[in-house]
Amino acid sequence: MKWVSAISEARSADEAIDALEKPIVAGLQEGVDLAILFVSPFFKNDFDRLPALFYDRLGCRVLVGCSAGGVIANHREIERRPAMALIAASLPDVLIKPFHLDQSALPGLDASPKKWQACFDVDIPTSNFVLLADPFTMDVERTLQGLDYAYPNAVKIGGLASGAEGAGQNALFVDRERYRSGIAGVALSGNIAIDTIVAQGCRPIGHPFSITKCHQNALLEINGQKAIEVLQHLYQESSESDQTLMQHSLFLGIAMTPFQENLSRGDFLIRNLTGIDSKTGAITLGAMLCEGQTAQFHLRDKQTSSEDLQWYLARYQMEKEVKSARGALLFSCMGRGEHLYGEQDFDTRLFHAQLGSVPMGGFFCNGEIGAIGETTFLHGYTSCFGIFKEVDSKIRDNGS
């Protein structure tokens, strides 16, 4: 297995294709089995012709990709400017199954796993997925529920196409075709594994609590008290700097391992606070709630986001065999990058400082896909990494 990445800031599509093709072909003399392409909306007039040009020039087995408000490769993050990024791989002993589906093609959530597998035309339950979706035309959360149901042991990683203002403006690429809606991607099985890092960029404040009363997405009572009263008390006890953050960067973390006594980073699914009703004392959230769930308030700022990602990368370096990483994808929120940190290439620089010169590509998304615990979610303000490794290098050497 070998991965190579390339990036171009050429303002001509043809010049960008030339600039990306050369290092990919030179670096993958064994041939390009999979190419993943990310293109800024500056090239929207070329979206229809780009996939076929790249597919034919690279001699791909499979090409997928999408439009992107910012692209990532070769230690660089280029945001809101003309750019293309390409990451490609030679993947012996790996079955690569590309797909594209529109919302209308999906079965209901009460359909059997076999119907979901038939829909994606992927019948290997251990297949891992790279997913690229259009946020205007696809119910991504419903899709992820179905995929988790049909492929419970599979990794799902990806992001929502960005850079468009409405339906039909984004691009999803599959082989030679451009699509304006739905979900695209690849299922990978065989001698390949994907490790994931989902850095939500938050830190907890206060203490974990039990949700004692709620209705759908409205948090009504915390430990038997009105939710707004608990929040007001937390605000009064917080530092001046945290009080400032609570006015615009306050979130709720919902524990994904409710019976775990000592909760820490990675145990919470972070969700937005969408409103506060001073009359009823309810706090509304971007998530459905259940009584008995454990939760905790969280804050986000650039320092917290930086520390959070460093913590995840350091843990990965300690727990995994980093030398076996062959390539990586980064799906990062449009709200991160230079907008959050005030400087370019921040998350990318942290990644390479911990994992070395692993070839990486990716893009800035309108939503990021990754698992917390055993469940795959659609996130915001998150950086989701997929790190590709061989399951067993002996498979190729033995020819079995």
34-69 pLDDT per residue, tens: 999 999 999 999 999 999 999 999 999 999 999 999
Per-residue model confidence as pLDDT tens digits over 289-325: 999 999 999 999 889 899 999 999 999 988 888 889 9
Domain boundaries, the chain: 2-199+305-398, 203-297
- Distance CA(80)–CA(69), nearest Å, equals 6
Residue 21 has pLDDT above 60, yes or no: yes
Torsion angle of alpha carbons 371, 377, 379, 385, nearest 10°? 30
Q: Tokens in use for 77?
A: 């993050």
- 178-198: burial string, b at 16+ Cβ within 10 Å, e else: bbbbbbbbbbbbbbbebbbbb
- Residue 259: pLDDT above 90? no
* Residue located via tokens 């939760």: 295
The closest of 387, 384, 388 to 199, measured between CA atoms, is 384
The enclosing H or E element of 219 equals strand 218-222
**At which residue do the structure tokens 């038997």 appear?**
224
Query: Around 386, how many Cα atoms within 13 Å sit in the side-chain half-sphere?
Result: 25
Q: For the chain, give the mean pLDDT.
A: 92
Query: Which tokens hold the place of 32?
Result: 């390009």
Element containing residue 119 per DSSP (H, E): helix 113-120
Q: How confident is the model at residue 260 (pLDDT cuts 50, 70, 90)?
A: low
- Output phi, psi for 315, to 5 deg: -65, -40
Q: Which residues pair with 3 in a beta bridge?
A: 89
Chain position carrying tokens 């990602």: 309
Could you tell me which of 306, 309, 320 has the C-alpha nearest to residue 387?
320
CB of 291 within 8 A of CB of 313? Answer: no
How many angstroms separate the CA atoms of 187 and 189, rounded? 7
Going by C-alpha positions, the residue among 93, 65, 128, 108 that lies closest to residue 2 is 93
Residue 127: φ, ψ to 5°: -60, 145
pTM over 0.95? The answer is no
* Poorest-pLDDT segment among 122-126, 308-312, 326-330: 122-126
Residues 6+ apart with CB under 8 A from 212: 221, 222, 223, 224, 291
Residue 397 has pLDDT above 50, yes or no: no
Q: Which two tokens stand for residue 388?
A: 């590709």
